[in-house]
Amino acid sequence: MDNVRMLIVDSVQHAKAGHAGMALGMAEVAYFLYRHAMNYNPTSPNWFNRDRFVLSAGHGSLLQYVCLHLAGFQSVQIEDLKCLCKLGSRTPGHPENVVTEGIEVTTGPLGQGVANAVGLSLAEAHVGARFNKPDVAVVDHKTYCIMGDGCAMEGLSNKVASLAAHWKLHKLTLIYDNNHNTIDGSTSLGWNTITVDNSQGNLEAFKNSLISAHSETRKPTFIRVKTTIGKLSKNDETSKAHHGTFDDDDVKKMKQKVKWDDREPFHVIPMVYSTIEYQQELEWHSKLYYYQNKYPEEAAEFKLLLADGMLPGWESSLPKWSMSDPVDATRGYSGKCLNALAKVLPGLIGGSADLASSNQAYLHNFGDFKQPDGLVLHGGGLIPFAATFLVFSDYMKNSVRLSALSHAGVLYILTHDSVRIGEDGPTHQPVEHLAGLRAIPHLLLFRPADGKETAGSYKVAIENRNVPSVLALSRQKVAANVEGTSAEAVGKGGYIISDISDKELLPEIILIGTGSELCLCEASANVLRKEGRRVRVVSLVCWRLFDRQPRDHKELVLPSSVSKHVSVETGSPLGWKEYVGAEGFVIGIDNFGSSGPYSEVLKKYGFTEEIVTQTAKSLLAK
């Protein structure tokens, strides 16, 4: 165990960076998990049935890197430990799943890792319930999560912990590093726990707590481990040990304390390395073989799920709409897409936090379910969706960010997407949310205008398994099939829905809209056309996809020689100048909305055919 601590000390000392406090305090516990408790195969890090480990207290990343190294993961060599927190290293300041093999989940924002551990455990329970048989369990693993005082202080942890209990995720073990130190001082937490005192490094009690956790068949287990933050270092037991590096003298004293002072830095005693031969994966494969013979149909589906979870030609199941279809809200079209997809995408899983009927995000054939974080990182083709009102995306902002950072292709179905919700008023009317979500790197935000664009958005969102997508959907009804829109064109982010008749000429003005405002643009364009104006209407359904198009396509849709543009979107004007240009005009809302019937609210904020037409005319007159 001293060896684990000395590797931590040497890494911090060498890199002059890192958070050693938690790493030193929890060294025994984490090493014990990797050495004696968890099933995994370091030479096959993505083996489906491995136990999952999440370090929610992500600032202790170094501890996980040391454990991965000692367990035999190729991704963390001694050289990597020496590069701790260096640019481009495989050992960044907080664990990143997209950087280091063996890291399941990107962590750092406190509490989020606990939520993701609940998601991983839920994924296991969900897939297990679908495929396991009384005589053979092909999905059967545990999920471990180490959380700290800081995680416990986030409301999110309480919330997901109560969900885990509700879902009876008995294979989930939360280990709470109760070192009595957060940066500002002490905390306490009133959970029902197994308490283990590990401040003296006696692992017996911890071992027994794991045995108790494993024998539990209904409840998730919460193990509160008392540790000594910064154990061995001169600042141990104080908040000073949380981060910062050691000075030479401190390192010398620590090494003397454990009689390590005659050894080279980064020395590892061979026996500290894992020597277990990882049989579990082989055993699992025999189990799978048996399963395949006995339950061929389920095995086929299971394998499909493991591969990527999509039946060939799944896109063709998406509904198509004709001009004669009755009007509905885009949330309604979305509900139809989602239920059609559920039949061909076995991995589709998700729900809405208490708003499923409002969000129309309920899988009618699949019983009840609620929103988890992080299901997608479990692997095995799961495609999680999470639904709420667009305005309440604020409550999950950090989770959305983390999914983009973790390359997790979550679908966020965010309905009630504008002031058009009317009576519920400004607390429920999103204004700045489209801009805020568009600013998140990588994330794809779609604001479809009708049934066709809704289906097209689903197609692109599901094809992009490494990027989260937001579908911003209307509460109020819009046409199923706006003339000129196209499901296929959604992939280009922006395209022409109606244009001037003479293809030799350029338009005098271009009206650009998204979602519910696209029809408004089209209505104004028709008025202007009757007056002899050359008007084009463009749907800018996904900014980021449009920005990525080759110059040709962008020039085709928004030619640089046309300087007059009007954009129309019931949201913050932020960012629209990019598309309308210096002379263009942005019709947006830089104010909170108002309670009232939606047609009146729209009028108040300038979203009427008359105002769009007037604005275009004043621009044309310039």
Query: Looking only at residues 74 through 113 of this chain, which bind a second copy when binding is defined by CB under 8 A?
Result: 85-89, 92-94, 96, 106-109
Amino acid at 431: V
Q: Which residue lies nearer to a second copy by CB, 424 or 609?
A: 424
Give the interface size with a second copy as a residue count (CB under 8 A): 84
Q: Residue 571 burial (CB < 10 Å; 0-12/13-18/19+)?
A: buried
Residues 76/334, Cβ–Cβ less than 8 Å: no
Residues 104/377, Cβ–Cβ less than 8 Å: yes
Task: Return the H-helix or E-strand segment holding 348.
Answer: strand 348-352
User: Segment contacting a second copy (CB under 8 A): 116-124, 348-356, 498-506, 611-619?
Assistant: 348-356
CB of 397 to a second copy, least distance (A): 4
Compose the 9-38 pattern: x for residues touching a second copy by CB under 8 A, - for all others: --------xx--------------------
- Name residues contacting a second copy, limited to 523-562 (CB under 8 A): none
- Name residues contacting a second copy, limited to 488-507 (CB under 8 A): none
Q: Which residue lies nearer to a second copy by CB, 148 or 381?
A: 148
User: Segment contacting a second copy (CB under 8 A): 32-40, 304-312, 503-511, 581-589?
Assistant: 581-589
- Name residues contacting a second copy, limited to 183-222 (CB under 8 A): 183-185, 190
Residues 511/620, Cβ–Cβ less than 8 Å: no
Find the angle CA(553)-CA(555)-CA(560) to the nearest 5 degrees.
Answer: 165
Residues 151/157, Cβ–Cβ less than 8 Å: yes
Q: Which of 126, 428, 534, 564 binds a second copy (CB under 8 A)?
A: 428
Task: Return the H-helix or E-strand segment holding 7.
Answer: helix 2-15
Q: Which of 43, 357, 466, 618 binds a second copy (CB under 8 A)?
A: 357
Q: Which residue lies nearer to a second copy by CB, 305 or 443?
A: 443
CB of 219 to a second copy, least distance (A): 13
Would you state the torsion angle of the CA atoms of residues 82, 84, 90, 92, taken in this order, to the nearest 10 degrees?
A: 180
- Name residues contacting a second copy, limited to 391-410 (CB under 8 A): 391-392, 394-395, 397-398, 401-402, 404-405
Helix (H, G, I), strand (E, B) or coil at 178: strand
Find the angle CA(232)-CA(233)-CA(238) to the nearest 5 degrees.
Answer: 110
Compose the 448-477 pattern: x for residues touching a second copy by CB under 8 A, - for all others: ------------------------------
Task: Return the H-helix or E-strand segment holding 334.
Answer: helix 330-344
Q: Which of 424, 463, 499, 609 binds a second copy (CB under 8 A)?
A: 424
Q: Which residue lies nearer to a second copy by CB, 398 or 464?
A: 398
Residues 239/182, Cβ–Cβ less than 8 Å: yes
- Name residues contacting a second copy, limited to 33-62 (CB under 8 A): 58-59
Q: How far apart are CA 216 and CA 454, in angstroms?
A: 45
Assess 574 for contact with a second copy (CB under 8 A).
yes
- Name residues contacting a second copy, limited to 586-615 (CB under 8 A): 589-592, 594-597, 600-601, 604
- Name residues contacting a second copy, limited to 269-288 (CB under 8 A): none
Taking Cα atoms as reference points, which of 518, 620, 605, 517 lies closest to residue 565? 620
Cα distances (angstroms) measured from residue 419 to each of 428, 446, 605: 8, 18, 9
